[in-house]
Structure 1
Amino acid sequence: MPSRNQALEGNWRLTCLGGQGARPGLPEAIPATVPGTVHTDLLAAGLIPDPYLDLNEIAVDWVGKCDWRYETTFNWSDDGAQNTDLVFAGLDTFATITLNGVTLGETANMNRSYRFPVREHLRPGENHLAVTFESAWKRGEALDKIYEPRPNNYPGPANLMRKMACNFGWDWGPTVVTSGLWQSATLQSWSKARLRAIRPEITLAGADGHVHVHTEIDGDATNLGLRISVAGQTVTAPVGSAEITVPNPELWWPAGLGNQPLYPVTVELLDGETVLDSWSRNIGFRSLRLDTTPDEEGTPFAFVINDVPVYICGANWIPDDCFLPRVTPERYAARIAQAKAASINMLRVWGGGIYETEAFYEECDRQGMLVWQDFLFACAAYPEEGDLPAEIEAEARENIVRLMPHPSLVLWNGNNENIWGWFDWGWQDVLKNRTWGLGYYLDLLPRLVAELDPTRPYWAGSPYSGSMDIHPNDPAHGCTHLWDVWNEIGYEHYVDSVPRFCSEFGWQAPPTWATLTQSVHDNPLTPTSPGVWHHQKATIGNDKLLRGLKGHLPEPKTMDDWHFVTQLNQARAIKFGIEHMRSHRGRNMGTIVWQLNDCWPVTSWAAVDGYGRLKPLWYALRAVYHPHLLTIQPRGEGLSVVAVNERTLFWRGPVTIKRLRFDGTVLAEWTHWRLCADRLSAAELPIPADVAAVGDKANELLVATMHDSTALHYFAEDVDLNLPQPEFDLKVEKAADGYQVTVAAKTLIKDLCLFVDRIHPDATTDDMLVTLLPGQSKTFAVQSPVALDTKTLSSAPVFRCANQLQGS
């Protein structure tokens, strides 16, 4: 008899069982949604305010401190199957499962699934299921008494349990400690045997693809067989493992380097001709290695895919919502599309979040988005005693096997910043001889990856040099985090080193104006008004925003200027750092900016804010991650123009370099007949001294052009420039798909932005941070639900440029 599934989605009820701060007068039970969370059920019932608005995060703090019970009734009819299991894809986190008054078991891990045999406890007709969740705060208090205190960069017991760490708050996230059935609940009926786990090892040998399928079976496998189909090829084999060859498959490539052909693979468990169980996924064929072979400069960190060294233009990924079930496949698709449109080719799934759902990785497969996957350890010391190691091993085994079919997945990483923490954050004095997680990172996890997913590289941490004998954040070795820039020093210090690979660096800014005013209703609205202040989670974050302006941009005097200048500074800081690192392509082989997305509306390092709107940083990333990058960089005592080419065809052409006054007067000009950047490489050209020899730093700039690419270089920062008051003509024309807004510059206009969300929260523009020389024009494609007019578009706060900040 084939296996059969019955989804347990409807008819759920939620009851508060009390706890610290429990609110009186709650209904005995309210409707509940599965998958879902307690917070979203209470929100739907109108019993709590939206935690994302104003100071409501504090008002709903009690929810996470209570125990809760989910209950449902369902009908079951005996179909004659030998086995029936109750399967939970995800329980958050400490749950007791009861079916018809019988306790089936307890759970303690948000990051794995659970299966309970229940046939003997089911009865024909109506059945009662209850899932009781203990507060993670309460369980944390108990765990505190078991484990001696260990360093943790953030409040809460996340390092003592297997629950999403950022649930307890981070420097960009709220403290909303969730519970609930965050993934599906299902009854699965099966007879004789079922497929417990499938591991397809996908490799290339010459032009052929090979899929080595390993199977694990529950039940009696006697006389059973497998039928495996891939890309029109089918083999039958005994239960255990089998290999199938696909002649000359198309290769799967990262975005920008080729296509992403996917081939369905199906594994069927056969009893004669009867299919007892089946499993299917889409796979891709590509080769992969992480090049860390020592060289004369240290230890490289380069992803080589299909024998091509790929420069990583990446962004870090955090959970896209604090309430995970709200992140639908459509939302994943939209967010990954936003990353791809910004020329991002890798997302690093950060270790303080979750192993994302299948929808995330499937979308990355389709869009050619590489995935760096952290194991879930972040910014804390983790005990290696008690129940934790067994939970960590079970979690890692399940997720390695679950994710290994995805061609987008290219790295398993042991942890986020924990090895660095042991070296530099005073942990050694606090820990004495207590464990802190090193056994996971250097022993357990690499063993599991080697056993279960030997075709993929493992790296012990981010940052990590490759050896405990070398400082983990040494820029000459492995992957590096650059956080002294932002936390301590100005962004001009990005040029102080050339990391082999920079897997974290970032700069803060508030969300878009539409998102800020949608989530904060302070009157007056200021950088330090209660709601704005509450939606800034970084320690002295607002102070750092202003400190980061010094030497670069004027300090703002109004809220409108504060919002614009901090967003502008974020975009400039990250563009500056990436241009520097990309200009050293070869020594540096990747940057992963912190961060792509937000989980709620907040001042943060994100390029896409918590309501999915694009900050100016997103447009800066699109420009600086473009496969053809032209940049002017300091080299020795002079300046060079650098052409960086991430395409598979060489990029060559004449380069013209002009030194101009801000009024457009050409002071010096030089054309080099041909600059050639070979495929996947960078080429440098020194700028003649007489062209780069500035006469008046406050009024001159360099402009380099090559085909459609332009690089600008100013000889001073904005605070020391004599930027003119912007003069321009602006024209609005209705178009079939929105509006065409053309700005014709009469003066230099630096970093022009049209903040059309100030007109309507759903209005968007196709470009920002555009610099126009006198006589140049730019046409913006604008989408808006309301009519646009010249006066509004021509005036602040919609029309903004750096020129307007002079004297502010």
Structure 2
Amino acid sequence: MRETLHGGWRLRAVGGPVPAFLVGRQVPAVVPGSTHLDLMAADLIPDPYLDRNEAALTWMHRVDWQYATVFQAQAPRLDERVELVFDGIDTIATVELNGDVLGHTANMHRGYRFDVSESLRDGANDLTVTLSSALAHAEQMEAQLGWRQRAYPHPYNAIRKMACSFGWDWGPDLQTAGIWKPVRLERWDTARLAQVRPLVTVDAGGTGRVDVHLELDRATDRDYTAVVAVGDREERVAVTGDIAHVTVLVPDARLWWPVGYGEQPLYELTITLLADGEPVDVARRRVGFRTVTVDTEPDETGAPFTFVVNGKRVFAKGANWIPDDHFLTRITPERLQRRIDQAVDANMNMLRVWGGGIYETDDFYDACDERGVMVWQDFPFACAFYAEEEPLRGEVEAEARENITRLVARPSLVLWNGNNENLPAYTDWGWQESLQGRSWGLGYYTELLPKLVDELDPTRPYAPGSPYSPGDLPPNDAHYGTRHEWDVWNALDYSHYRDHIPRFCAEFGFQGPPTWATLTRSIHDQPLTPTSPAFLLHQKADDGNGKLHRGLQPHLPVPDDFEQWHWATQLNQARAVAFGIEHFRSWSPRTAGALVWQLNDCWPVTSWSAVDSDERPKPLYYAIKHAFAPRLLTVQPRQGRPTLVAINDHDQPWTGTVRATRQTFDGDPLATAELPLSVPPRSTALLDLADDLLKPADPKSEVLIATASGADVHHLFAEDRDLGYDPAPFVATVTPAAGGYRIDVQATSYVRDLALLADKIAPDAVVDDMLVSLAAGQSHCFFVRTTASLHSPSTLVRLDVLRCANMAAAPR
């Protein structure tokens, strides 16, 4: 029997720099939840996501807290086992029941079970969870184990807690505390399924195989039988000890495929434990049959990093994933589904769960399983050196064992990865000398974690880190393994993405502010400028605004007006990332993956995200959607001249004709050509462009446009700031439509990157597309979805709402 214990909790501050307004005070607490959320609900602290409130709440870093509740129960019967189970506590806790100390916790990434057979009593039971300051504990562990270098000030590498809880270059420094996952009382007088580990494979002949490894926790000795059913197939085995192995074969299993490669059939897996023929426990999973490997065999260029699913090579199109809200318990299954749907709608097939966050919840993997989104899963190590001694080592092994076992059956999970950027931190960042012989985590990444994956989950590959190159090579070598590309953004113009042809680019990105509605909801500076106090607090990157300015300057004028600066920097972010994606895809199959940093945000901030923390897509989102389109035309340099590259990410060949025209901004054709197009499935093809298409008479007022069966590319001959755009190149009309509004745009001159910033008019408004370029005479229809009934629909075509690059190049 399982009974959740989520009611009646109270919270109080019990130690540290407790402010006067909290001394002796209790407030209602929500479990699962966190201290910040409870104090906000009691109107005792402001929302830390707004204005400069984050900085006003740093006192919470060193406060100790106590959660307490009273629950009714019966004392254990003879031969009955009773355990108190916490699926997750954040982070340093002492758990007491009726005054008895049950135990201590020191790891946010794992669960804990406490035997309460001697403490539980009939009637009312007092349960308390006392949380010590995570920062104080981390500092204590650092003093005990020795100082180790990290990317940010707090010693997040000395505690097993979400690293970005201590602040990151896109995240707040709030250092949450709380009971962040369910808590319950479990009791049984026979046995329970203590562990269920299904290994799912596919035999060469197409038979699906589910090898279920079971562990029992017995209260009494009985005749136990495990019954395992997969769909309509069933097998059973007598359990004579505490472990058992049951194999179920599914002939002609339907294969699970990444989105865009096939369907995602899922089979129900049910494990029933019988005692003397009667069911006493049951566990359920959903499984999908597929094989996955990563091809790393050396070739003439170096060594690839190519995912192979069901024998088919897959180009990974995707993004890095961070926790979708810094307050994790606010993330609902529905929110995760919306976010994964946004990824799929942007033509992504992979998300990398980054190592500075968490092992995601089951709801996240459910959504990915159902939608065919491959998951690259980092172990939680990021941008730091980590001690390999106790007590940290034992916690690392415990959390890895628990989470490998929890996620082993997930068809979406295609890679375990040892860490984020800790290998180049050792070899390339100048940190090595600071170690003075101390351990730094290498043993985790090359010994402990691969050993555990091999033991518990031999069905999928493991990589020691990201970036990673084999042997003695620098981890970020472009010719081998995986690469992170951060010279662009940190130091170089985005055109320098073309300096390298990585085998797999696992991180690259460029910053931009959140959408206007999100920005103005969360920041209220008067006046609002790039250097106003609250705006700067929501810009966490080192010299972030300086990099935005320097990244913008070669391409577009840097506006003085904040609203125009907001649009220009969002546009430049979109341009930069799309430039990188198109370069990487153009080199497929040599390059086999491009994962943008990052899909999402955890609070309102200027960051690298495509979707901001209020769930609104930024212009970058639409640029990614276009650049990851299954069929793409792009102009890339090859052998010293611009070349048309056609990319076909379909299982069918792409055939037809490419029509190419060099024309004036006014629409007058100057040179035309028709090129035969024949691109095999999952391939690229290079098409030569004649000199008359590539040599403009007036580079400032001409454009090359190539189109083929719905795909097009617009190639300009100078940067926007040097082009002779018409600053008012279109006319537009608005018509009410079911669910929103239709906006029809007619180009009177060349229009580049037309965007409709509908959230400026209605906070819930979302446009179906953005960054659309039009030749003179062409038209486009946008649809804005909103529940708002606009008094004046014409506001949707105001110059600050319906914008294009022409306006950014010639700011008003």
Name the TM-score, length of structure 2 as normaliser.
Answer: 0.97
The corresponding residue for 1:561 is: 564
CA distance in 2, matches of 1:272, 1:25: 55
Residue 708 of structure 1 corresponds to which residue in structure 2?
710
Query: Residue 271 of structure 1 aligns with which residue?
Result: 275
Give the Cα–Cα distance (whole angstroms) in 2 for the partners of residues 190 and 323 of structure 1. 34
In the alignment, the residues of structure 2 paired with residue 104 and residue 725 of structure 1 have an alpha-carbon distance, to the nearest angstrom, of 70
Percent of residue pairs identical: 51
Whether the 8 Å CA contact 2:659–2:708 is kept in 1: the answer is: yes
8 Å CA contact retained: 2:76, 2:82: no
Contact residue 384 and residue 439 of structure 1 kept, 8 A = yes
Residues in 1 aligned to 2:653 and 2:166: alpha-carbon distance in whole angstroms: 49
Corresponding residue for residue 54 of structure 1: 51
Note if contact 2:200-2:208 (Cα within 8 Å) is conserved in structure 1. yes
Q: CA deviation at 1:23?
A: 4.2
What SS is found at the alignment partner of 2:659? strand
The corresponding residue for 2:589 is: 586
The alignment status of 1:397 with 2:401, answered yes or no, reads yes
The CA deviation at 1:79 is 7.2
Deviations 1:698-723 (A, max 9, x none): 11111111111101111111112111
Look up the equivalent residue of 2:127 and give its one-letter code: L
TM-aligned CA deviation for residue 594 of structure 1:
0.2
Query: What amino acid does structure 2 have at the position aligned with 1:295?
Result: D
SS of the residue 1:679 aligns to: coil
> Secondary structure, in 3 states, of the residue corresponding to 2:608?
coil
Per-residue Cα deviation, 1:338-390 (whole angstroms, up to 9, x for no partner): 11111111110000000011111011101111100000000000001120111
Q: 1:280 aligns with which of 274, 281, 284?
A: 284
Q: Is the 8 A contact 1:37 1:181 kept in 2?
A: yes
What is the one-letter code of the residue matched to 2:157? N
- Kindly indicate whether residue 443 of structure 2 is the aligned counterpart of residue 439 of structure 1: yes
The residue type equivalent to 1:527 in the other structure is P
Task: Report Cα offsets for 1:183-240 as digits up to 9, x if no partner.
Answer: 0000001123211111111111112100011111222666322100001001111331
1:625 aligns with 2:628: yes
Whether the 8 Å contact between 1:282 and 1:405 is mirrored in structure 2 is yes
Deviation at 1:761, TM superposition (A): 1.3
Does residue 640 (structure 1) correspond to residue 643 (structure 2)? The answer is yes
| 1:362 match: secondary structure | helix
Q: Distance in 1 between matches of 2:612 and 2:784?
A: 19
SS at match of 2:425: helix
Alpha carbons 2:12, 2:22 under 8 Å: kept: no
Equivalent-residue separation in structure 2 for 1:783 and 1:194 (angstroms):
50
1:541 and 1:496, CA in 2 relative to 1: closer, same or farther beyond 3 A?
same
Q: Distance in 2 between matches of 1:653 and 1:360?
A: 40
Structure 1 position 71 matched with structure 2 position 73: no
SS at match of 1:548: helix
Q: Which of 176, 182, 185 matches 1:184?
A: 182
**How far is the alpha carbon of 1:790 from its aligned partner?**
5.9
Listed as ranges, the matches of 1:128-139 within 5 Å are: 128-139=126-137
2:809 corresponds to 1:806 = yes
Kindly provide the amino acid, as one letter, of the partner of residue 421 in structure 1: A
How far off its partner does 1:427 sit? 1.5
Matches within 5 A, 1:474-623: 474-623=477-626
Contact 1:197 1:216 in 2 (8 A): yes
d(CA) in 1 for partners of 2:20, 2:656: 70
Matching residue's letter, 1:501: F
From 400, 408, 411, give the equivalent of 1:407: 411
Partner of 1:231: 231
Note if contact 1:638-1:689 (Cα within 8 Å) is conserved in structure 2: no
1:311 counterpart = 2:308: no
Secondary structure of the residue aligned to 1:395 is helix
Summarize deviations over 1:709-739 as a string: whole Å, max 9, x none.
Answer: 1011111111121111223221111112211
State the partner residue of 2:211. Answer: 212
Q: Which residue of 1 aligns with 2:162?
A: 164
SS of 1:169's equivalent in the other structure is strand
Q: Confirm or deny: 8 A CA contact 2:76 2:120 kept in the other structure.
A: no
Which sections of structure 1, spanning at least 5 residues, go unmatched?
none
Which residue of structure 2 lines up, in the alignment, with residue 337 of structure 1?
A: 341
Question: Structure 1: how far apart are the matches of 2:33 and 2:161?
Answer: 16
Letter aligned with residue 683 of structure 2: S
Report the AA paired with residue 423 of structure 2.
Answer: I
Distance, in Å, in 2 between the alignment partners of 1:663 and 1:94 is: 67
CA distance, structure 1, for counterparts of residue 809 and residue 520 of structure 2: 26
Give the match for residue 722 of structure 1.
724
SS of residue matched to 1:805 = helix
Contact 1:726-1:748 within 8 A present in 2 as well: no
Match of 1:90 among 88, 99, 105: 88
TM-superposed CA distance for 1:795, in Å, is: 2.4
> Matches of 1:576 and 1:517 in 2, distance apart?
29
Number of aligned pairs?
A: 803
| Counterpart Cα distance in 1 of 2:810 and 2:269 | 64
Letter of the structure 2 residue corresponding to residue 701 of structure 1: V
Distance 1:795 1:457 in 2: 52
Aligned to 2:104: 106
Q: Quick one: structure 1 residues 790 and 229, their matched pair in 2 at CA, closer, same or farther if it must change by over 3 Å?
A: closer
1:768 aligns to what?
770
The AA in structure 2 aligned to 1:293 is: E
Q: Does 1:34 align with 2:31?
A: yes
For residues 455 and 93 of structure 1, what CA distance do their matches in structure 2 show?
32
Tell me the distance in 1 between the aligned counterparts of 2:97 and 2:71.
11
How many Å separate the matches in 2 of 1:579 and 1:761? 32
- Deviation, structure 1 residue 632: 1.3
Contact 1:638 1:686 in 2 (8 A): no
More off after superposition, 685-694 vs 748-757? 685-694
Query: Do the aligned residues in 1 keep the contact of 2:69 with 2:127 (CA within 8 Å)?
Result: yes
Give the letter aligned to residue 191 of structure 1.
D
CA distance in 1, matches of 2:803, 2:791: 16
* Contact persistence 1:760–1:786 (CA under 8 A): no
Aligned twin of 1:426: 430
1:572-602 per-residue CA deviation (whole Å, 9 max, x = no partner) reads 0000000011011110000000000000000
Q: In structure 2, what is the equivalent of residue 664 of structure 1? A: 667
Is the 8 Å Cα contact of residues 734 and 793 (structure 2) preserved in structure 1?
yes
Amino acid in structure 2 at the alignment position of 1:742: D
Q: How does 1:297-308 map to 2 (within 5 A)?
A: 297-308=301-312
Deviation at 1:647, TM superposition (A): 1.1
RMSD of the TM alignment (CA)? 1.2
Amino acid of the residue matched to residue 515 of structure 1?
T
What is the alpha-carbon distance in structure 2 between the residues aligned to residue 638 and residue 135 of structure 1?
A: 60
Q: Give 1:751's aligned residue.
A: 753
Q: Secondary structure at the match of 1:605?
A: coil
| Unaligned residue ranges in structure 2 (runs of 5+) | none
Return closer, same or farther for 1:807/1:626 CA change in 2, 3 Å cut-off: closer
Letter in 2 for 1:616: P
Q: Deviations over 1:27-69 (max 9, x none)?
A: 5211000000000000000000000000000111112210000
- Residue 101 of structure 1 aligns with an amino acid whose one-letter code is G
SS in 1 for 2:697: coil
1:78 offset after TM fit, Å?
A: 4.8
Q: Residues of 1 paired with 2:288 and 2:376: CA distance?
A: 17
Alignment partner of 1:280: what SS?
A: strand
**Within 1, Cα distance between the matches of 2:791 and 2:343?**
28
Give the whole-Å Cα distance in 2 for the aligned partners of 1:728 and 1:790.
Answer: 18
Q: 1:653 to 1:336 in 2, by over 3 A?
A: same
Q: Indicate the residue corresponding to 1:685 in structure 2.
A: 687
Instruction: Verify the 8 A CA contact 1:64 1:179 in the aligned structure 2.
Output: no
